[in-house]
Amino acid sequence: MAETYSITINGDDRTKCIYNRSVVITDDAGDAPSLMTLHFFNRDGGSVPTCEQEIIVTRNGTKLFAGYITEIAYKKIGGSTVKLIIDCIDYTRDLSRRMVVEGYEDMTDKAIIEDIVSKYCQGTGITITNVVESITINQISFSYMSPAQCFSQICALTGRSWYLDYDKDIHYFVLTTNAAPFNIDSDNNEYYDLEISKNNSNIKNRVYVRGGKYESGEVNFTQVADGEQVVFLIPDELVEYSWTLKVNTVEKSLGIKNVDKVANWDYLVNIREKYFECAQADTPAADVVMSLDYKHYIPVLVAVEDTASIEEVGVYEYAIFDKNITTKQQARDRAQAELTDYANTLVDGLFYTKTNGFVAGQYINISLTEMAVDANYLVQRVIARSLGGGEFEYLVTIASAKKIGIINFLINLLEQDKNALDIDRYEAVDELLEVDDDGVEIDDDPTTKITLTDKAPPYQWGDFKWGLAEWDGA
């Protein structure tokens, strides 16, 4: 079948105007946009390209790039001849046109993305066919963020990934081992100039995780009064109102200092400072037994190591602090995820190929005994350079599958029974309303939304006495 290759600008085929070997397309892993640069000379007498025009590169029916012109540099190369150096960005530019001002509660990630697209991407042609529903988000707010930034924030919370394809469809998905067009072994000849480097600088083979806190079972602490003391130290940080205080077997009330009213309690406890003291109660007499049954908070702290790595290269310790980890099992899983990613030598590399189909984020297996490598590696970046006649050479950069263990830990954590995510309910989303010189009357009834009604001066806010809420705006 004959090769087909075209570059259209603003809907017109301008392939003959593109300098040979000048097209360079860069695709990075993650949600970074794809970029393209090319050199243009007006050989066909058509209009000169301008910024914001759509540009599409197609080979054999497959789009190699699609997006918009963002920058044009003009270079005079002799006489009246001018060459244009054109920079382009893919369709994610359409996801940066408007700012999102929204708050969401108890909605799935997919529903939130759908709502943002429907409200803030109108007229762009963006679709959501490949958005996969997975996580319920209790509360999240976006204050003047682009849709692209919103999607990245959702991914940061959920451990998912997203990108916009060259047909303007959003892909939102769990990171998986998407296969590259080919794997590398001693029998494969589709690649050349392979380079591999190995790096031990980030090895971590003994990991400590200090998480948040969890509640203990009920314990008892007893001390004997000396007849003078009114403050009694306790060894732990108590769980609020988990306690029973007895003085010589007689139960006494115990409130929280600086929270509960002194007059209502026999004793008050300072949870942070770890003591309780007399409030309305008299000073306990000598030899009175103060018995406190309570629950307390225990910090989550675990250590996990990779024995094989330690035997091979020695100990390299690392500590993780994450207050959102509230059980020992979660802490062990988090430590193991770090070991999965960093207990062994990290491998980076690159190779060249003329085979189409490589995309950043794919996985490629490299098995070469002569280089002592045999594992899956992540395609980090793909740079496509035109060779002329519609043929491209691809520089593929690969690396160890970093952070896959950590991402899987996050996904598993979110998909447990308590898989809902919380963002502070008090985060403010402010919207600005411009009013005219006639002013407004604000009806601030707590049972209804605030309403604004035109009103001439003098202005008045509610039914204040003595006219203190009246002004004329002069």
Confidence of residue 410 (pLDDT cuts 50, 70, 90): low
Three-class SS state of 19: coil
Convert the pLDDT of each residue in 188-224 to its tens digit: 999 999 999 988 888 899 999 888 888 888 999 999 9
| 414 pLDDT more than 70 | no
What letter does residue 18 receive in the DSSP assignment?
Answer: B
What gap in Å lies between CA 284 and CA 252, rounded to an integer?
Answer: 12
Convert the pLDDT of each residue in 329-346 to its tens digit: 888 888 888 888 788 888
| 280 pLDDT more than 90 | no
Task: Report the pLDDT value the prediction gives residue 178, as an integer from 0 to 100.
Answer: 67
Burial class, 239, CB count within 10 angstroms (exposed 0-12 / middle 13-18 / buried 19+): middle
What gap in Å lies between CA 373 and CA 364, rounded to an integer?
Answer: 12
Confidence of residue 133 (pLDDT cuts 50, 70, 90): confident
Task: Report the pLDDT value the prediction gives residue 422, as an integer from 0 to 100.
Answer: 45
Rg of the chain over CA atoms, in angstroms? 32
Which tokens is 405 given? 């263990």
Q: Which residues of 116-125 are buried (b: 16+ CB within 10 A; e: fewer)?
A: bbeebbeebe
| E strand intervals along 91-205 | 100-108, 127-131, 136-145, 160-164, 169-174, 184-185, 191-199
Convert the pLDDT of each residue in 50-62 to its tens digit: 999 999 999 988 9
Convert the pLDDT of each residue in 306-318 to its tens digit: 898 899 889 999 8
Asked if 67 and 89 touch (Cβ cutoff 8 Å), the reply is yes
Chain Cα centroid distance, residue 262? 46
| 439 pLDDT more than 70 | no
Convert the pLDDT of each residue in 75-92 to its tens digit: 998 888 899 999 999 999
Residue 465: count other Cβ atoms within 10 Å of its Cβ: 6
Mean pLDDT, rounded, for 428-449: 46
Which of 131, 28, 48 lies closest to 362 in space, CA to CA?
28
**Average per-residue pLDDT for the chain:** 83
